[in-house]
Amino acid sequence: MKDLRNKFVKNSFEKLMRIKNPYLHSFVEKYVKLCNPAKIFVNSGSPEDLKYIREAAIKYGEEIKLKVEGHTVHFDGYYDQARDKENTKILLPKGNNCSRHINWIEREKGLKEIHEILKDIMKGKELFICFYTLGPENSEFTIPCVQLTDSAYVAHSENILFRQGYKEFLRRGSDPSFFKFVHSAGELDERKNSKNIDKRRVYIDLENETVYSVNTQYGGNTIGPKKLALRLAVNRASKEGWLAEHMFIVGIRGPNGRVTYFTGAFPSLCGKTSTVMIPGERLIGDDIAYLRKRNGKVYAVNAEKGIFGIIAGINSKDDPLLFKALHSPGEIIFSNVLVTEDGEVYWNGKNSPMPEKGINHSGEWYKGKRDAEGNLIPPSHPNARFTLSLDLLENFDPRLNDPMGVEIKGIIYGGRDSDTWVPVEQSFDWVHGVVTKGASLESETTAATLGKVGERKFNPMANLDFLPISIGKYVRMHLEFGKDLENPPKIFSINYFLKDENGKFLTEKNDKRVWLKWMELRVHNEVDAIKTPTGYIPMYEDLKKLFKEVLSKDYEEEDYIKQFTLRIPENLAKIDRILKIYREIPDTPDVVFRVLKEQKERLLEIKKRLGDYVSPYDFYT
């Protein structure tokens, strides 16, 4: 390492050596020699170091200052705007018999390829070495991480999104159990974008808990501790008996100032963000949760401390908390939005007039501009993003950094479902909830670009894209997790998208506030529920009271009947779809088939007596 000392700037060598970890030093030395940067900066997490990286992002042209203090914009390359699913691969040993849903490459072959691409890739550039923790520091949840990147934008994003981890590395000394990330944007074009995206690769080595990302800048491919680390965390959790989930954590306020914490898993475009951003409730996390057991109870932390969120559609009426934060001074990175000549930002769906021209991910932009393929270029990319720290939001919960985590009383699974699930329902027990809610989660596509409109996408626990292990093993993890809990969190399904026979939505946007309040009362056994063949549903009297208290709105009995009618043909069709999927997964636990078949039998028995569509009142006793 000493022969590389002259590459380190601003006391960086001393900062690295202060960490008494030979394994870390060896890792850094290997990739410094391979990637061959011109200079190296080590981020200790101090205000001075964080400022250095912010300024480097401007200096190297990866970000541009905007009108509002602290705001900057970053543009990814025109064809580097989303997660590269095709070239994101898990490195697995030769002969591995993995699930067909896992995109993988033989480990030795993948390592050889990625190391050949990394050879001298940082020549003439600055390498940033950054330390983070997933979860609060000095906690049973903590996973330390080290990121090597030649992109100041990536380092800056991670400084906003994750807790600084330099002190954790100092505390842990020679402990080798940390996640490692190596990223290079590769050769850059005149706009400072990755040039060789044909060689874009994101390889995840489970054995060495290392992620390699090259020739890309888009955050989903490069921000290592986020979704890339989720694969590593799921793999580690499967061996250690905890859960790493694609879940939000939100505190719902109950009577007398009580706050009850829920986690929730929703696929994209299913209402996840609108759920965690409800005014008056308390936000701990919007994306990734770690769940552990302690004394027979479940506790969770947010792996992150910020949001890397989709900005399209955010407006002052539907998203007041986010909208206000995005227009207030503070450290925020906008990516792939439209910037006007006076430094204002505009995105698709913002409730303000669309500018005539500006700068966006395509360069100089004007209304009617088309790309090389003849496609109309919108002012803002559909996947445009914002990056901010949670403490910029008014609904931020300071328990975000509680090293003990928050106790979880309920788990919510939500999908886009036009015809099957009722708006809110509680499972009978943990196993029933895991199988019929989480492991059976589906979501309907909404646009042709996502596949055929209305097509149902299977997405267990909304985590399918991030599983490095088989679906069967993953479902078994959840089943095992609940076995020795004295009072397991209650599991709920939620559906904001149920329609009537004419295609009209049966619930309104704000109704979700009532469903959440009902779940909060249920976990404390303060309201009764009606038992149906698929789970427990609310009683009309309780919802009527809540609609008045929460929304100052009358709730009609007719609406209740439409919303909570049991749709037996659709439920039976769903069970058949899910059974077919799991029959093709060799390691599916037997209990999955048993629970689904029992639910099918209950539905068929009711159908015989009461017909295809059964009013909730038919289940009143």
| Catalytic (active-site) positions | 270
**CA pair distance 256, 253, nearest whole angstrom:** 9
Which alpha helices (DSSP H) does 241-343 contain, by range? 272-276, 320-326
* HSE (side-chain half, CA atoms, 13 Å) at 259: 15
Q: Specify which residues 449 forms β-bridges with.
A: none
**CA pair distance 422, 373, nearest whole angstrom:** 43
Residues ≥6 apart with Cβ < 8 Å to 372: none
Rg (CA), the chain: 25
Distance (Å) of CA 364 to CA 218, 358, 380, 493: 20, 6, 12, 45
Residues ≥6 apart with Cβ < 8 Å to 193: 75, 76, 77, 78, 80, 185, 217
| DSSP code string of 181-241 | EEEE--SB-TTS-BS-GGG-EEEEETTTTEEEEES---HHHH-IIIIIHHHHHHHHHHHHT
- E strands present in 18-87: 39-43, 64-65, 71-74
Q: Exposure of 323 by Cβ count < 10 A (0-12 exposed, 13-18 middle, 19+ buried)?
A: middle
**CA pair distance 207, 107, nearest whole angstrom:** 9
Element housing 250 (H / E): strand 248-253
Residue with tokens 């749709």: 567
Residue 87 CA from chain centroid, whole number: 20
Question: Exposed e or buried b for every residue in 282-314, given b needs 16+ CB within 10 A?
Answer: bbbbbbbbbbbbeeeebbbbbbbbbbbbbbbbb
Extract the tokens encoding 338: 């439209």
Which alpha helices (DSSP H) does 460-554 contain, by range? 471-481, 512-523, 540-551
Q: Exposure of 465 by Cβ count < 10 A (0-12 exposed, 13-18 middle, 19+ buried)?
A: middle
What are the helix and strand counts (H, E) for the chain? 17, 33
Question: Exposed e or buried b for every residue in 15-51, given b needs 16+ CB within 10 A?
Answer: bbeebebeebeebbeebbeebbbeebbbbbbeeebbe
